[in-house]
Structure 1
Amino acid sequence: MTMRATLDFLLHDWIDAASLTARPRFADHSRETFDSVLDTCERIAREKFAPYNRLADTEEPRFDGERVHLPQATHDAARAYAESGMLACAQDYEIGGMQLPCVVEMAANSFFSMSSVSMGAYAMLTSGNASLLMAHGSPTQKAVFARNEFAGRWFGTMCLSEPQAGSSLSDLATRAVPDGPDFQDDPLGPRYRLKGHKMWISGGEHEITENIIHLVLAKIPGPDGKLVPGVKGISLFIVPKRLVDAEGRLTGERNDVALAGLNHKCGYRGTTNTLLNFGEGRFPVRGGAGAIGYLVGEPGRGLACMFHMMNEARIGVGLGATMLGYAGFLASLDYARQRTQGRPVGPTGKDPASPPVPIIEHADVKRMLLAQKAYCEGALALALYCARLVDEQHTGESTAADEARLLLEVLTPIAKSWPSEWCLEANSLAIQVLGGYGYTRDFPVEQYWRDNRLNMIHEGTHGIQGLDLLGRKVLMDDGRGLKLLGQRMQASITAAGALPPLTEPAQALGQALARLGAATRAAWAGAQPDEALANATPYLQAFGHVVLAWIWLDVARCALVCRDRLAPDFVDGKLAAARYFYRYELPRIEAWLGVVASRDRTCLDLSPQAL
């Protein structure tokens, strides 16, 4: 079965995306229009992205001191994506959008992530950048910057990290000062001059588009000239590479944003990754010193605005990790069906006179393939479920919309981190299936692993996601989001438990959910934050496995309900993956939750010198 068959099943049978067409925003659509979008994106990804994925890896971005060079294929792929209208596909008709549901947008983008995740990253960043401006920008900022990004005329970035601060945003040192006495009067927004350095900026320099719109976090000094400590002093600015007027026309003047260097990465090489200097004087702008930036929203509210983009990006990162894992799974599955080696162990032992068999006949190879299937198809279902929650938040009635918001708050750390860890493991297993060949560049699976290794790091490391989940998300609103998620799981347990093949996993999920709740309470029972959060990452891992067990139980239920109109092998594959997850994966949570519930201090008390 193809990935498309699974995608169609999840989108239409499990999530019932077509039911969204009953809502006014999506009333012009139907299953046929959704399928047409998927067909178009699948074709573009196949023709413009997939054939050049290896090229983007071997011919990584190169800086000659003046400009960054990328393979022509990257330019062509970006142009094809922009011309498809996918950058604005979820936006209003009035700004050139298609008003597609987020869940259909995510499903369509899965093809690009699978075909060449690094070539598609420019679009993901641009869409998130423009969506943030639509939520928090002024009418002029939306018209000038967001609309030109949605049209593919300009691409965008997010500039958070700094060399000395990394992920510790409270320690940002980039400064923004008002640009003269009339700084409030610029039609593009209050105008500031920025000075500082930003690190790890994906898409930070290229010539794919005529302009790059940087969204930059910086601090506005107080009356004493000092930066406000902590995150409350952070503001958000639009800093274009090339200056524009209020009509969106290039003025011909370069902004003082300079490339300090490219980062040379293990994988994900098709996306430029940069160190940028703002206001160093390499491209001085008339009227003052520093790069010109326009304030977005209110001063001191920059981090809240940026999280709008970051949360969308985190779900996108999870989807990218998923599809890299899926690409490796399909490659290793194809190899296992063709590669002959060894003989099966029968009742009387191996018969050396018999011909070798395809390695897919061996139980351990089946184990590795089934693990990949369970990881990748489960992660894809999770990403689509979260995207469906986005649609519910934006178009559902008030109670349902608020519940979707809460569920998204709790699930976003999982949607980012779980695929990043376990679909990377799927890539490792794909290499193992191919054996020595998998470790060579003659096959693509080694590149999939290298590309995927980034996803556990960017948009918030595992450690950050764990702290966010245990330290904030499960506690917010007196734990209402966690309780709501538990109610959704209980409903699935009841529905699946009525089907004899799923009685056992339904009971197992109920027990796992109770164990998770007990560990959550124990972690915080009279504990100081440092003690409660010392094992936040094992908590994240256990929480993710419980969520994926829930996803697989409900997917298996749907496959059983729909089995009369699905291919028998397709249904059997879904049931086998669910069974694998419950028997091989879910038991892992005992060890993870054990250290959480006991508030184990092994790591907290360890002296750095002991290492």
Structure 2
Amino acid sequence: MSKILSRRDLDFLLYEWLDVEALTARERFTEHSRETFDAFLDVSAQIAERDFAPHNRRSDLEEPTFDGTRVHVIPEVAAALKVFNDTGLLSATMDADVGGLQLPHVVARACFAWFQAANLATSSYSLLTAGNANLLLSYGSTAQIDRFVRPMLEGRFTGTMCLSEPQAGSSLADVLTRAVPSGDGTYRVTGSKMWISGGDHELTETIVHLVLARAAGAPAGVKGLSLFIVPKHHIEADGTVGERNGVSLAGLNHKMGYRGTTNAVLSFDDATGYLVGEEGKGLVYMFQMMNEARIGVGAGAVALGYTGYLHALDYARSRSQGRLVADKDPAAPAVPIVQHPDVRRLLLSSKAYVEGGLALILYASKLLDEPSDDNDLLLDVLTPIVKAWPSQWCRLANDHAIQVHGGYGYTREYPVEQFYRDNRLNSIHEGTDGIQGLDLLGRKVVMRGGAGLQLLIGRIVTTAVAAPTELGQPVIAMCDRLATTTRKLWAAGDPTAALANSTAYLEATGHLVIAWLWLSQLLAAGDKEGAFYDGKRLAARYFITHELPRIGPLLDLLDSGDTLLADLDDTVLG
């Protein structure tokens, strides 16, 4: 069995739980079938095993370097990306008229999970490029699509998103990069951008940067931001790559994980930029790529947690150490550590986290394939959870994997320490957990009069009613509590008090959502026989009985109206 990802679990989630084969009845997907879905899954697994996984360790140990002139990346990265691009998976979900395959998002997400689990750093270049291209397909002009998007989909260019600045970080209202009209329809962009993944390299002919900047005369705050295409090199109308644009690399950041992905500080000095859409709508446009990236980050966190779990499970079955507590004979042979109860605790909780997280990612992706007012609203509510929950709990699975390996887990001879380091970054990427908590409680569950939360709770309760009473009833009770707590938090109309513990709200809601998805998987497993289905039923029972109760103290804190964190005097911190 592969230690990258479980194809058996993917098949269950896609076909037995989500019934993705039924999507082929929709006009957009009529060219596809179970056979084409399986073919893409097969080739993804093969390429992940053959072209991505083998250099995962090397790209971590030999991270990109900058010699003052150019960035050096190990050659296996470019080779792997070429193989990936040749499959057509980069444009898999896009329209046929731009060369896309019109593959359902849920299947494409399952395919890409193989690459993220095998080598998160290398796969990140493709993740960002696809998001960049999707944004321009939605908001760019025909000329911009021809000049910038088509070469990205051909694998000639890669793409980035340039939001953060050294002085602003996640506070985009404080962006200072400016753009001045040059009189010929272009703009001159000047400023500095920080933490730009994939921001500089020689892997492709050039890089297409999407840059948030403030046009001349624009107001302060996020409403004054516009979006610009600023390529690393000038691109002629016929697609020819010309001289260097006014974009330079000020330096590379060196992170604890994701080391194979270049992370750049970029300087824009009177660089030629092309306005996307209208002035003042930059953040509106960028939210499409940001939300896509948030789902991608959550998926990456799941993939890392999943591969860590599979490595730990394999190790626990092969490593013999100690004896069971009932065995008092010191001469008795040692037993595989998987037989020790605490190791089983680590493995079962990890299974519940990573299989629950994968279900969350795929469920959210399928909502994109069945657009409707309700599904769009539900995806809005779920997006901060999709990003943050796996970044916390699937990272805990990586922590558990290190523990299962014992002393070896902390050494570089085993990959689980790298999985943990790589996954630690996902709580930062595309908005911290704190930002996701503010988004969920401050915007998503209260917009449209709370319709999104009502919709989510309604779907959870429908599933819980169909489940065995002893498992469904605790979930229904927590739904009632969450609804009551949400109303209570906003009853006084004081956003400072309401949002003082928004991260606790995010964690509670996320755990409730995962409990719901485990109940749904339990129903899909039904009374089918075999170890796989027994594992699904066991993990569902574990999550409801051992993990769901974590929500209680979090809701108690929220109900108390505690504002300690908002009110404290920071001088007491030392």
Match status 1:513 vs 2:516: no
- Code of the aligned partner of 1:364: D
Distance in 2, matches of 1:114 and 1:278, equals 34
Match status 1:89 vs 2:103: no
Q: Partner residue of 2:246?
A: 256
Q: Partner residue of 2:159?
A: 156
The offset of 1:486, in angstroms, is 1.1
1:598 to 531, 543, 560: 560
- Code of the aligned partner of 1:579: R
Distance in 1, matches of 2:268 and 2:106, equals 37
Q: Deviations over 1:135-158 (max 9, x none)?
A: 111111112211111121100000
1:273-352 to 2 correspondences below 5 Å: 273-279=263-269, 290-346=270-326, 349-352=327-330
Q: Deviations over 1:515-545 (max 9, x none)?
A: 1111111111114111110100000000000
Aligned length: 570
Distance in 1, matches of 2:548 and 2:146, equals 49
2:334 to 332, 344, 356: 356
Q: Partner residue of 2:390?
A: 419
Distance in 2, matches of 1:46 and 1:508, equals 41
- Code of the aligned partner of 1:422: W
1:257-272 to 2 correspondences below 5 Å: 257-272=247-262
Name whichever of 326-335 and 91-100 sits farther off.
Answer: 91-100
Task: Answer whether contact 1:221 1:228 (CA < 8 A) is retained.
Answer: no
Q: Deviations over 1:77-110 (max 9, x none)?
A: 1111111111111112221111100001000001
2:42 to 36, 39, 43: 39
- Code of the aligned partner of 1:150: L
The offset of 1:336, in angstroms, is 0.3
Q: Partner residue of 1:583?
A: 545
Match status 1:28 vs 2:31: yes
The offset of 1:579, in angstroms, is 1.3
2:501 to 523, 535, 538: 535
Distance in 2, matches of 1:581 and 1:216, equals 42
The offset of 1:351, in angstroms, is 2.2
Task: Answer whether contact 1:427 1:445 (CA < 8 A) is retained.
Answer: yes
The offset of 1:213, in angstroms, is 0.1
Match status 1:480 vs 2:480: no
RMSD of Structure 2 on Structure 1 (CA):
1.0
- Code of the aligned partner of 2:275: L
Distance in 2, matches of 1:602 and 1:595, equals 11
Distance in 1, matches of 2:477 and 2:285, equals 39
SS at match of 2:21: helix
- Code of the aligned partner of 2:229: I
Q: Partner residue of 2:348?
A: 370
The offset of 1:570, in angstroms, is 0.4
Distance in 1, matches of 2:235 and 2:493, equals 53
Task: Answer whether contact 1:325 1:376 (CA < 8 A) is retained.
Answer: yes
1:383-394 to 2 correspondences below 5 Å: 383-393=361-371
1:202 to 189, 197, 210: 197
Match status 1:466 vs 2:437: yes
The offset of 1:229, in angstroms, is 1.1
- Code of the aligned partner of 1:147: R
1:156-195 to 2 correspondences below 5 Å: 156-180=159-183, 183-184=184-185, 191-195=186-190
Q: Partner residue of 1:283?
A: none
1:479-498 to 2 correspondences below 5 Å: 479-496=450-467
Gapped runs of 5+ residues in structure 2?
Answer: none
Q: Partner residue of 1:406?
A: 377
Q: Partner residue of 1:118?
A: 121
Match status 1:438 vs 2:409: yes
- Code of the aligned partner of 1:350: K
Distance in 2, matches of 1:503 and 1:150, equals 50
Q: Partner residue of 1:396?
A: none
Match status 1:448 vs 2:419: yes
Distance in 2, matches of 1:203 and 1:594, equals 43
- Code of the aligned partner of 2:346: M
- Code of the aligned partner of 1:550: W
1:221 to 203, 216, 232: 216
Distance in 1, matches of 2:153 and 2:290, equals 18
Distance in 2, matches of 1:593 and 1:143, equals 51
Task: Answer whether contact 1:175 1:218 (CA < 8 A) is retained.
Answer: yes
Q: Partner residue of 2:523?
A: 557
SS at match of 2:13: helix
- Code of the aligned partner of 2:512: V
Distance in 1, matches of 2:191 and 2:328, equals 68
Q: Partner residue of 2:134?
A: 131
Distance in 2, matches of 1:164 and 1:111, equals 36
Task: Answer whether contact 1:522 1:598 (CA < 8 A) is retained.
Answer: no
SS at match of 2:149: helix
- Code of the aligned partner of 1:540: L
Distance in 2, matches of 1:142 and 1:480, equals 36
Taking structure 2 as the reference length, the TM-score comes to: 0.98
The offset of 1:350, in angstroms, is 2.5
Gapped runs of 5+ residues in structure 1?
Answer: 185-190, 280-289, 394-400, 497-501
Distance in 2, matches of 1:248 and 1:600, equals 58
Task: Answer whether contact 1:193 1:292 (CA < 8 A) is retained.
Answer: yes
Q: Deviations over 1:236-272 (max 9, x none)?
A: 000000111222222x211000000000110110100
Q: Partner residue of 2:225?
A: 234
SS at match of 2:526: helix
- Code of the aligned partner of 2:391: S
Q: Partner residue of 1:398?
A: none
The offset of 1:354, in angstroms, is 1.3
Match status 1:80 vs 2:51: no
- Code of the aligned partner of 1:45: A
The offset of 1:582, in angstroms, is 1.2
The offset of 1:221, in angstroms, is 2.3
Q: Deviations over 1:15-46 (max 9, x none)?
A: 00100000111101100100000001110010
Distance in 1, matches of 2:145 and 2:446, equals 35
Distance in 1, matches of 2:146 and 2:449, equals 40
The offset of 1:418, in angstroms, is 0.2
